[in-house]
A = this chain, B = another copy of it.
Amino acid sequence: MDKVELLHGDGGKYTSQLIKEVFYNSYGNSILLEDLDSAVIKFQGEFMAFTTDSFIVKPIFFRGGDIGKLAICGTINDLTVSGAIPLYLSVGFIIEESFPISQLKNIALSMRNVCKETNVKIVTGDTKVVEKGSAEGIFINTSGVGIINGFKSKEIKDGDHILITGTIAEHGTAIAVDRYNLDVKGDIKSDCFPLCTLLSCLYKYKDKIKLMKDPTRGGIGEALNEIAIKSGLGVHLFESEIPIRKEVKWVNEMLGLDPLYLASEGRMLIVAENCVSKDIILDLKKTCNCNNASHIGVFTKECEFVYTENILGGKRILNPLDYHMLPRIC
């Protein structure tokens, strides 16, 4: 391919190829090449996490949130899963000429609300405007810094458990419903949520937690494939334990989408030693927004791929996807 295609932006295989071929080849360095959700950098003897994300979600207002809430939660979550307490954010706006100021105010208020809830501060920003037709409504970049707080990625081993903090695929489903104006009954909305509120619950398990990851673009299917490849192990998922809301299942069946590959924006995958997984689940269930926390699978040396098994013993391999089904979900 000699041109950038939509699939280069879906967070899967082609995104990864483009990043390696163009960006890592040009300006790679040992920190960038770690390829983590946040860079971990040393600053005056302390470790700091630093991350960035641009948001191009369509539509910009959707059930359960808007681009502002998403932009703040997204960067907070990237810092959180890197084991950092999010502290400070930057916000860069690119706004299309004639965008309604009333909508901009609503977006800013959504940002404010998440900041208030999490005690994270927006400390610097930038505002650019382009001519009508040169951008679609509004794009937002948020970057953030946080302090690493004792959490550290560890080698994943055979038998380590995989937990999820709640029901999956709700963000992707909400975006699909709103983008295609589907007339859907039932309470479907994005799960967009700042995960840093979970850190105090998880802190006491920090020595037994191997990895945290938010399954955004590509859902748990893509996220677990990435982790499996890096670990050299396979993943056995227990299909009946994966929490998915009924309405989400119906909509996905109707649209021919697979919820295992659809984004969540307020859930965390946790890989932990098996000795603590029950306790983590019990503690999570007492924590805001985690009452559906579940132990959904296990790492195994028996294979090198990701698969689900249903209660009848039927197995299905979850391959890394060549192309994700739903672009522009964040």
CB of B26 within 8 A of CB of A112, answer: yes
Q: Which of B41, B52, B96, B97 contacts A125 (CB 8 A)?
A: B52
Whether A122 is near chain B, meaning CB under 8 Å from some CB there, is yes
| Stretch from A100-108, A170-178, A262-270, A300-308 forming part of the interface with B | A100-108
**A116-175 contacts to B (CB < 8 Å):** 121-131, 133-136, 139, 141, 143, 145, 147
A-B contact pairs, 25 of them (CB 8 A): A2-B100, A3-B101, A4-B99, A5-B129, A8-B95, A8-B127, A9-B127, A10-B129, A21-B101, A23-B91, A25-B108, A26-B112, A31-B121, A32-B121, A39-B90, A41-B123, A43-B48, A51-B124, A54-B93, A56-B128, A56-B134, A130-B136, A131-B327, A135-B139, A145-B145
Whether A255 is near chain B, meaning CB under 8 Å from some CB there, is no
Residues of B within 8 A of A4 (CB): 95-101, 104, 129
Whether A27 is near chain B, meaning CB under 8 Å from some CB there, is yes
Q: Which of B121, B125, B136 contacts A135 (CB 8 A)?
A: B136
Contact A134 to B131, CB < 8 A, known contacts A125-B19, A145-B145? no
Interface size for chain A: under 10, 10 to 19, 20 to 34, or 35 or more residues? 35 or more
CB of A27 within 8 A of CB of B115, answer: yes
Residues of A within 8 A of B (CB): 1-10, 15, 18-19, 21-23, 25-27, 29, 31-32, 38-39, 41, 43-46, 48, 50-56, 87-88, 90-102, 104-105, 108-109, 111-112, 115, 121-131, 133-136, 139, 141, 143, 145, 147, 327-328
CB of A43 within 8 A of CB of B41, answer: no
Residues of B within 8 A of A141 (CB): 52, 54, 92, 126, 141, 143
Residues of B within 8 A of A112 (CB): 26-27
Q: Which of B43, B100, B123 contacts A3 (CB 8 A)?
A: B100
Distance between A23 CB and nearest chain B CB, rounded to angstroms: 6
**Which residue of B has the minimal Cβ distance to A74?**
B126
Contact A39 to B129, CB < 8 A, known contacts A31-B121, A52-B124, A139-B135? no
Distance between A41 CB and nearest chain B CB, rounded to angstroms: 5
Q: Give the distance in Å from the alpha carbon of A55 to the alpha carbon of B141 in the complex.
A: 11
Residues of B within 8 A of A48 (CB): 43, 145
CB of A27 within 8 A of CB of B123, answer: no
Q: Give the distance in Å from the alpha carbon of A168 to the alpha carbon of B47 in the complex.
A: 40
CB of B135 within 8 A of CB of A50, answer: no
Contact A105 to B29, CB < 8 A, known contacts A5-B129, A88-B41? no
Residues of B within 8 A of A123 (CB): 29, 31-32, 39, 41, 50
